[in-house]
Structure formats: structure tokens, C-alpha cells
Chain A
Amino acid sequence: MGLPFYLQQSLNGISFGLLLFLLASGLTLIFGLMRVANIAHGSFYLLGAYVGLSVMRWTHAFPLAILAGGATVAVVGGLMQWWFLARFHQQTLSQVLLTMGFAFIFSDQALLLWGGDPQSVPVPRALGGTLLLGPVYFPAYRLFVIVVGLAVYVGLWVLQDKTRMGATVRAAVDDAEMARGLGINVWKVFTGVFALGAFLAAAGGVIGGAFLSIYPGADFDVLPLAFVVVIVGGLGSLKGALAGSLLVGLLDNFGKALFPELSYFTLFAPMAVILAIRPTGLFGRP
């Protein structure tokens, strides 16, 4: 296991990390900003992947698949927030139980609709090639994932820190009462943020569905990863979500390659250490 092995695994880890970032950036909005511990976040990923898969089979248009998967799940997420979660604002346990209930329903219905066999979204031809990076071959698609992840990071950063919309969201989250006094419709803002978070998770599902397979149970496989990313990075911190995603992506890849039987352990043990040293995560506000 020389340098090529480590280079290959690092590149794989980074691309997996940026896929996780798509998922975790949605969760950092929903859990980090709004403090809704959304157990259905993995379901958003899975549903998005399945919807994208169906659209891809009908239309063979990859961008359309991403948009359709994202938009469908954004509507589902928005309705969940508007009809169910809003009335349990800041009641953690009720929200967890509700989202868990929805997660089970979605998981079971997805099994009914799309079957139990692992499937994957076909990679568009333009991204199907392989690049030679020094001593290793690297699939062009994984590079695409890295680019998309970084683009989403920049986009969210601009949206959150540089626009009026971002300022409105931050105001609604920090002090809902005051924001309401300023004429902001807090419930609409929350619904919008929740829908955006769901969109990101679902788009991540479509994109991830092309290099990881989609299968029943994938929802609860990615869910803890997304939570670990957000917790390690620090609640509500975009920068933290990116750092956490890369860390978790690399740990997961090396863990699986080096200690396949203990891979879950190699992933969570460092998380435990980080939390023991910095309970608020890498970039979290104390």
C-alpha cells in the first residue's frame, strides 16, 4: 500500500465528503439553524434519489433528474414543516418523534414503490470518463461531485451572509419574536428554510445515487453520517459542515479500506474524541 493507495483513497474520501456536504448543508439549515432534529433527513436523500432515478429513466436528462428529485422532496419537506412541525416549535422530543414517524413511513413506501433491489442512477455520458491524476485514475463523475459540493458551499455562504434573504433567516432564527415585530413572517421563513434543506438532501441523493447505490435502508445509513458532520462541524456553521464532511468522508473511506469490519467504529470514535475536547464542535459557537 504505497502512495497511489493513499492518493486514491484520499480522492475517494474527498468526493464522498463533498457528497455528504450536500446532505449535511441541508441538515445544518434544518438542525443547526432551526434546531429541528430531523430524523427524516436520510429519507429526503433516499426519496430524492428514487425520484431522480425515475425521471432519469423517462427523460435521460441528468439536470432535470436533480431538479425534479430536489423539488419533489422540497415540497414534501415544506408541507411537513408547515402542517406538522411548526406547531411543535422548539419541542424537541415531539419533533423527533414526528420526523421519525415520517421517516418510517417514507422508508416503507419507497420500498413498496421502487422495490428492494439496489439500483443506481445512470451516470450521464459527458461525465462518464476517467481522468489520469498522477499515478491514479479518477472517475470524472467524482470530480463533478467535488465541483458541485464546492459550488453549493459558495452559493449557501453568499445566500446566508451576503443577501437580504439570508439576513431575514438569521433574524427569524435568532429572535423569532423580534423578527415578527419587524414584519417578517417567521413561519414562511421557517418553511422556506426547511424546504431548501430538504432540496439539498434530495439533490444530494440524485447525485450520490450515481456513484453509490440506492437501496432500502440507505436512508438510515446516511442519517447518522449527516448528523455526525453537523455535530463535529458545529451546529449551524457552514464552514464547520464543510470541514466535518471532508473529515467524515476521509475517515469513512480509510476506515472501510483499512479496517472493513470496524469501519463504523473508526468513523464514530474520532467524533467522540472531538466532542470530548470541543463539545460545541469545530466551528460551533459556545
Chain B
Amino acid sequence: MPRLRPPVQAWLWTAVTLAALALIPLAASTYYLHLLTLTFVYGIMAMSLDLLVGYIGLSSLGHAAYFGVAGYTVGVLSTRFGLGFWPAASLSVLAAVVTAALFGLLAIRATGAYFLIITLALGQIIWGLAYRWVSVTGGDNGLRGIPRPALGWGIHLGQIHAFYYFALVVTAAAAGAMYLLTVSPFGLALRGIRESESRMRVLGYDVWLHKYLIFVIAGAFCGVGGTVYAFYNGFVSPTDVSLVASANALLMVILGGTGTLFGSVVGSALLVFLQNLLSGITQRWLTVLGAILVLAVLYAPAGIVGAGQVLVRRLGAPPRGTAVAAPTAGPNGVSGS
């Protein structure tokens, strides 16, 4: 039985982490603020994917679709129609939800390898539209010139510092909402389905409905990430909805440890910082990414956070209530379908 109420230490760590992140802009250069903002944005995406991978055992290979649909919606609405932040953001998240609701109808009936491949194919539809529907999406050039928004109440996100805090608040809120979801009765039912679908069915749970709902919810949160990304970056392109983008998100989840929710943000930080550090040294980021994928599967199937927990346990004296608030990965870890 998983702990419903996280230990006091976990709350403490969360507060300390948030406080540290809030103080960082006082010391860090704008370059690091930029990387951290990207970490937050991709972190939202990765956490939303972890809802599927870690909590119900559905590994999507097309998660960038919802991120991209939201990003492109922001792009079209704000550059073509001059919509402000709130209407554009609401409609873009709605667009991600509608896309996930449609794709879910097709994908949810499939399991295992079928699910992976169908989500991949569906993701490629969005990529194909982004790439070829030139009159709307700008094709290969993408959509440029998305303005940094004003939120109203005199808050304008033009400066990196302002945007950093905005991204931090959105990410913390999204993480909190997702965490509450995973410890709710609904979240527990998801884990039950991950462990044994047939048993949950016998207990009277509507397995299909649970899968469908979490699929759409994950799409919605992913859309939040895509919306913030588009406003931050000012530019969306087919790269943001490519298979590589979906793989990146999945790798963040795996590196962070599946089913650890906040671990996904750690995975996001790892990839964002690594990519930017290496971009000064080598042009071969894709090779590095591929090698990380292979090595992660071979040597860190439970993710960095999971590997850390194993290390802590091996070093003896396991602290009562580990620092990681979220539940650990299932016994299958990566091996689930």
C-alpha cells in the first residue's frame, strides 16, 4: 500500500527546493536562467508523460504531438490573429486536449508494442501537418515572432527574469496538480491497472475509461508545457513535434525514473543542460542522445533517481522516508509495456 501522506521531510525538501529556485535569479546569469526555464517547460511535458508511462504503464512515443499542437495554436493565434495571452493560452490547451481526446480513442484500445507504434504514427501525423501544411504552419520555417505576453495586472513577461518566475510558478502548479492526481483514489486505481488490468476489471473498475481519462489529462498538461514553451521561445517549428522531441521526453522520464513524477524534472534538467554544454563541444548531439538511450536501458533501467535510491539503500542506514516524495517505480521499472 503506497503512502498517501508524504512524510514531513518531503514537504520540507519541496519547500527548500522551491525557495532555492526562487532565489536563483539573484545570483545566476541569464544563460542559466534560460536553461532552467527550458528545464521547467520540458519538465512539465516529461511529468505529463510520466503520468502515462509510470502510473498506468502506457508508453507513448508521440507525446510531442500535444506539446506541438499547443505551441502551434499559440503561434497561429498570436501572430495571425493577434490574440492576447489568456485567450491564446486557453485555446491552445484546449487544442491539445481535443487532439489527445481524438488520438486516445484510437490508441487506448491497443496495448504493448501496438500502443507504442500507434502513438508514434499519430505523432507523425502532427509532424506531417506541421511540416507540409505550409499555409498555416509555415512548413519547415515554422512560425516566428510570437510576442512575449502580458498577463494583465501590470505583469509583462518580456524580461527573462519575469518569464523565469512565470515558468517556475506554472511548473510548480502543474507538478502539484499532477501529484495530487497520482495520490487521489483515481491515481491509485491507475497504479492498480498498471499492476494488473484483469484484477482491476474484476473489482469493477472501468479500465478503458481510466486509461482514456489519464491519456487526455496527460495531453492537457503537455499542452500547458507547449503553451509556455511557445510564448517563451517565440518560435515553433516541426522539430518541436518530431519523433526526436517525443523520444527526448520519454528519455527524460526514464532518466528521472518512471513513476517518480518529480524525477522527470530532474531528467529534463539533465538533458537540457547536457545538450547545451555539449553543443559547444560537438555537433553530434543525436549520437550522444542515442548513446544515452542505449546506456540508460542497459545500466539505469530505474532512472537516475531510482539508481540513487538503490545506492542509498546499499550504503546502509536507509533514512526513514526517503527524500523523494513520489512513489518509487514499479517492480517492472522500464520493462513494463
Contact = CB atoms under 8 A, between A and B. Distances in A.
Given A37-B113, A98-B293, A93 B334 contact: yes
Given A35-B113, A104-B247, A263-B132, A268 B121 contact: yes
B129 interface: yes
Interface in A95-112: 96-98, 100-109, 112
Contacts of B175: none
B297 A88 contact: yes
B334 A91 contact: yes
A76 interface: no
Interface in A240-286: 260-265, 267-268, 271-272, 275-276, 279
A88 B298 CA distance: 9
Contacts of B334: 91, 93-94, 97
B106 interface: yes
Contacts of B242: 220
A24 interface: no
Nearest to A264: B128
A261 B117 contact: no
Interface in B241-261: 242-244, 247, 250-251, 254
A261 B132 contact: yes
Most buried by A among B117, B132, B287: B117
B172 interface: no
B327 interface: no
B113 A268 contact: no
Contacts of A206: none
A168 B132 CA distance: 45
Interface in A67-97: 84, 88, 91-94, 96-97
Given A35-B113, A104-B244, A231-B118, A264 B290 contact: no
B128 A265 contact: yes
A272 B120 CA distance: 13
A37 B117 contact: yes
Size bracket, chain B contacts: 35 or more
Contacts of B292: 101
Interface residues of A, number: 44
Contact of A92 (B113, B118, B294): B113
B116 A37 contact: yes
A102 B293 CA distance: 8
A228 interface: yes
A74 B122 CA distance: 29
Contacts, number: 128
Interface string A217-251: 00010011001100100010000000000000000
Contacts of A98: 293-294, 297
B286 A108 contact: yes
B329 to A, nearest CB: 12
A31 B117 CA distance: 10
B121 A260 contact: no
A262 B133 contact: yes
Interface string A19-46: 0000000000001000101010000000
Contact of A96 (B61, B132, B135, B287): B61
Most buried by A among B61, B110, B118, B293: B293
Interface of A (DSSP majority class): helix
A41 to B, nearest CB: 11
Contacts of B53: 93
Contacts of B113: 31, 35, 37, 92, 96
A267 B129 CA distance: 11
Contacts of A265: 125, 128-129
Contacts of A104: 244, 247, 286-287, 289-290, 293
Given A35-B113, A94-B301, A96-B59, A268 B291 contact: no
A108 to B, nearest CB: 4
B337 interface: yes
Interface in A35-66: 35, 37, 39
Contacts of A272: 106
A96 B284 CA distance: 21
B109 interface: yes
Contacts of A231: 114, 117-118, 121
B336 interface: yes
B124 interface: yes
B150 interface: no
B264 to A, nearest CB: 15
B112 interface: yes
Most buried by B among A93, A220, A263: A93
B287 A109 contact: yes
Interface in B314-337: 334-337
Interface of A: 31, 35, 37, 39, 84, 88, 91-94, 96-98, 100-109, 112, 220, 223-224, 227-228, 231, 235, 260-265, 267-268, 271-272, 275-276, 279
5 contacts: A91-B334, A98-B294, A267-B128, A279-B109, A279-B110
